[in-house]
Amino acid sequence: MSDHGAKRSSLAASAQAMGRGVQSLWLLAALLVVWEIAARLAGSLFVPPVSQIFVAFVDTWLSGSPSSLFLSDQFRVDVLPSLARLGLGYGAAAAIGISAGILIGVWRPAGAFFNPLIRLGMSVPVTALLPIAIVLFGITSGMNVFLIALGCLWPILINTYDGVRGLDRTVVTAARSMRLTRRRYFLQVLLPGASPAIFVGMRISIGIALVLMVISELYAATAGLGFYIVSQQRLFRFPELWAAIVLLALLGILFNAIFAVVERVLLRWHRNVRPEGAEGH
């Protein structure tokens, strides 16, 4: 292909990508425009125009100096503690959920033994345990971390269990016939085989972690995004309150994007072996 042809095809690919971007964002843009117009016409103080929320967002979260990556003091005071709680809670849930899921998946008697306990744990809404968590952990970050970890644990554990139990029998039999060591079986057969299901559980748990992070901070907290939201509501500062909600939405999108990248890298082999047309299902 000539240079001229290559340039043309590269331009066409860029235009196509841009078109896809516009296609996926036009609805959001239209919604924001409608919001702006409707809020201005209604003059509601509870639902301010998008432009006002944007100004509040920048003032509240991004008014810091370049040396602090433009992150404001408010960001440091309320968002960083929330993210630390989320990271610890989610990390603990992932570590416990994956380990326990593999254990009960591999060892059938343990699965049968723990099954009722897991069902019970799954059926209790974690938010109902908030008063108990305060008694157990006091008014500390431990309380928030505990609730996030508990809420995220079940989807990870159950999906890991399902992933282990659902391993392709042919592959398992082949691995056995090859007399793989336990370590090699675990690292080269079990873990890769179960990882698509493990990732599903972990991805579901990201949303749960964000929700629980906010809920656990609405009550008995001294800092955090949930605490900030309540505080602004009490002060009737609705643009700032919406700015916090927008930040939460952006954090959710960011975490999902990061997760998608990690998943794409780690599960590349899985995408390659999936049948044609299975993409995105």
Where along the sequence are the contacts to another protein (CB under 8 A)?
Answer: 45-46, 131, 134-135, 138-139, 219-222, 227, 230-231, 233-237
The one-letter amino acid code at 35 reads W
CA distance linking residue 53 with residue 47, whole number of Å = 9
CA distance linking residue 207 with residue 125, whole number of Å = 15
Q: Both tokens of residue 13?
A: 């690919």
> Between residues 136 and 178, which has the closer beta carbon with respect to another protein?
136
> Between residues 142 and 252, which has the closer beta carbon with respect to another protein?
142
Shortest Cβ 22–another protein spacing (Å): 37
The one-letter amino acid code at 21 reads G
Q: Both tokens of residue 75?
A: 């960001």
Shortest Cβ 43–another protein spacing (Å): 9
CA distance linking residue 78 with residue 227, whole number of Å = 8
Shortest Cβ 73–another protein spacing (Å): 12
> Between residues 209 and 221, which has the closer beta carbon with respect to another protein?
221
Among 83, 46, 34, CA closest to 210: 83
Shortest Cβ 132–another protein spacing (Å): 12
Strands (E), the chain: none
> Between residues 46 and 113, which has the closer beta carbon with respect to another protein?
46
Shortest Cβ 230–another protein spacing (Å): 6
> Between residues 27 and 135, which has the closer beta carbon with respect to another protein?
135
Residue with tokens 């100096």: 65
